[in-house]
Amino acid sequence: MNGAWVPAGDRELFDRQSPAHGVPVTRVPKCTVEDLDAAVDAARRAFDDRRWSGLNGQARAAVLLRTGALIRERADEIAYFETLENGKPISQARAEVLGCADMFEYASGLARSLHGDSFNNLGDGLFGLVTREPVGVVGLITPWNFPFLILCERVPYILASGCTIVAKPSEVTSATTLILAEILSDAGLPDGCMNVVTGAGSSIGQALIEHPRVDMLSFTGSTAVGRRVVEAAGKSNFKKLGLELGGKNPQIVFADADLEDAADGVAFGIGFNTGQCCVSGSRLIVERSVADDFARMVQAKFDKVRVGDPLDEATQIGAITTEAQNATIMSYIERGQAEGARLICGGAQLDMGRGQFIVPTLFGDVTRDMSIAREEIFGPVLTIMPFDTIEEAIEIANDTDYGLAASVWTKNIDKALTVTRQVQAGRFWVNTTLAGGPELPLGGFRQSGWGREAGIYGVEEYTQVKSVHIEIGKRDHWVK
């Protein structure tokens, strides 16, 4: 907070157990509402006295570049904490952390290239400028599934715009957010520009979304909490909102696809991060003529994928992050069977002696009204539905309240483009899935969210525009 560590003192502590190993790994304080006020004060002062937004783009870019370099230096340490708290495979965690360094390096360019517009066509008497200004103090609430990646898809863009930050990570995965704050300080970010409060969503998170001196709130998490964020903004100060919420993302496979590639991509799309991924391809929609064969191909991939200790370099699917999430996934697997779906494979927990693991699960005979086809499970559970025509595939894909992401697998360019145009989703993949990088924006259609993160769109999200009208020469007087 304000560029320095605050001792936990007599605050209550939260002990985090490794979800894969069942032993305590980290301990963070449950910050109080007074702590939050102090953090908002620090961010407010840092914004209002222009110690950051008043710097030129070159100086801001230098801090972001140094941050990228320091993340690379500490990549193994950050990845280790990420795996211990979240349960994700260490090789995946390391790749994510390096991707985060890249986010800062990319955003450093945006700090220098961010600009507005000019209007030189308003006649000889008037010149118009449109300037971009940072929104102010940004509250940043992040979930537990990609604690460092989601943080770094936002922080560099927020800082590139000139805003200051109060971040509240998920209570179960706070470590790497604290490490980032330390790195930013080491990289030369002025005190007060990045503050972190740890603690529960229901207490300190709620206080942050209601805070009257926070100008914008970037929330990533469930649609249910997203609704509370919207309510809180309306009841407090109408803060600007960025919302990245849930998804129930379709993967459409046509018979003319490279089915080997598609099966691998589909398995990756639901197995990656144990399916605890907002953009997981959890609804498989397959052309009927190949549906049974394709189900067998996906099952073969599931049989071979390596589920196990996330600290093992060879592991591809690690632990389920929380006991509550584990119970939720298992209850959906039971509900799917009770509703009449056919369990093709998986459906069970893997007994490793400690921790919580669920093997990839595939359901057939799924109808659109079933809860496993409609609700976000946030686990390695895939449903298959067949289609006969492209119109039907598009209709099934759009039959959801969400609109976060979608994939289409086909070698026919007309089908690929028709599906891409007509399926409502903020991120689209053609013959691949879950690809991404700092250039391409993230965000959802419909109930998957508002606004965009990353890319030029991401930095612009944290700015507001001002129109400036400049009179040239002698005024034509109103009072003659």
Catalytic residues: 168, 244, 278, 376
Q: Does 180 contact ligand NAD by CB under 6 A?
A: no
Q: How far apart are CA 2 and CA 174, in angstroms?
A: 18
Among residues 150, 184, 307, 372, the one that binds ligand NAD under rule CB under 6 A: 150
Give the CA diameter of the chain: 90
Least distance (Å) from ligand NAD to the CB of residue 49? 28
Q: Does 96 contact ligand NAD by CB under 6 A?
A: no
Q: Does 220 contact ligand NAD by CB under 6 A?
A: yes
Q: Does 205 contact ligand NAD by CB under 6 A?
A: yes
* Number of residues written out for the chain: 480
Judged by DSSP in three states, 16 sits in: strand
Q: Does 173 contact ligand NAD by CB under 6 A?
A: no
Residue 262, CA distances (Å) to 283, 285, 410 in order: 14, 12, 9
Name which of 142 and 315 has its Cβ closer to ligand NAD.
Answer: 142
Among residues 47, 144, 148, 462, the one that binds ligand NAD under rule CB under 6 A: 144
Q: Does 39 contact ligand NAD by CB under 6 A?
A: no
Site string for ligand NAD, 227-266 (x = CB under 6 A): -x---------------xxxx-------------------
Among 31-39, 69-77, 199-207, 456-464, the segment contacting ligand NAD (CB under 6 A): 199-207
- Structure token digits, residue 285: 């929609």
Least distance (Å) from ligand NAD to the CB of residue 365? 26
Q: By rule CB under 6 A, what count of residues binds ligand NAD? A: 30
Give the type of residue at 176. Answer: T
Q: Does 203 contact ligand NAD by CB under 6 A?
A: no
Q: Locate tokens 């099934």: which residue? A: 396
Least distance (Å) from ligand NAD to the CB of residue 400? 13
Among 38-46, 131-139, 203-211, 294-302, the segment contacting ligand NAD (CB under 6 A): 203-211
Q: Tell me the helices (H) and strands (E) count for the chain, helix number first.
A: 16, 18
Q: Locate tokens 């690690």: which residue? A: 318
Least distance (Å) from ligand NAD to the CB of residue 280? 8
Q: Does 206 contact ligand NAD by CB under 6 A?
A: yes
Name which of 143 and 386 has its Cβ closer to ligand NAD.
Answer: 143
- Give the single-character DSSP code of 204: I
Span 394-413, contacts to ligand NAD by CB under 6 A: 404
Q: How far apart are CA 283 and CA 372, in angstroms?
A: 9
Least distance (Å) from ligand NAD to the CB of residue 300? 28
Q: Does 426 contact ligand NAD by CB under 6 A?
A: no
- Structure token digits, residue 358: 């669920």
Q: Does 218 contact ligand NAD by CB under 6 A?
A: no
Q: Does 143 contact ligand NAD by CB under 6 A?
A: yes
Strands (E), 135-272: 137-141, 164-168, 194-196, 216-220, 240-244, 250-253
Q: How far apart are CA 157 and CA 138, in angstroms?
A: 11
Q: Does 209 contact ligand NAD by CB under 6 A?
A: yes
Distance of CA 476 to the CA centre of its chain: 53
User: How far separated are the first and last CA of the chain, in Å rounded?
Assistant: 59
DSSP code string of 371-402: HHHHS---SSEEEEEEESSHHHHHHHHH-SS-
Q: How far apart are CA 118 and CA 120, in angstroms?
A: 6
Q: Provide the CB-side half-sphere exposure for 257 (13 A, CA).
A: 30
Q: How far apart are CA 247 and CA 343, in angstroms?
A: 22
Q: Does 380 contact ligand NAD by CB under 6 A?
A: no
Q: Does 140 contact ligand NAD by CB under 6 A?
A: no
Contacting residues toward ligand NAD, per CB under 6 A: 141-145, 150, 168, 170-171, 201-202, 205-206, 209, 220-222, 225, 228, 244-247, 278, 376, 378, 404, 442, 444, 449
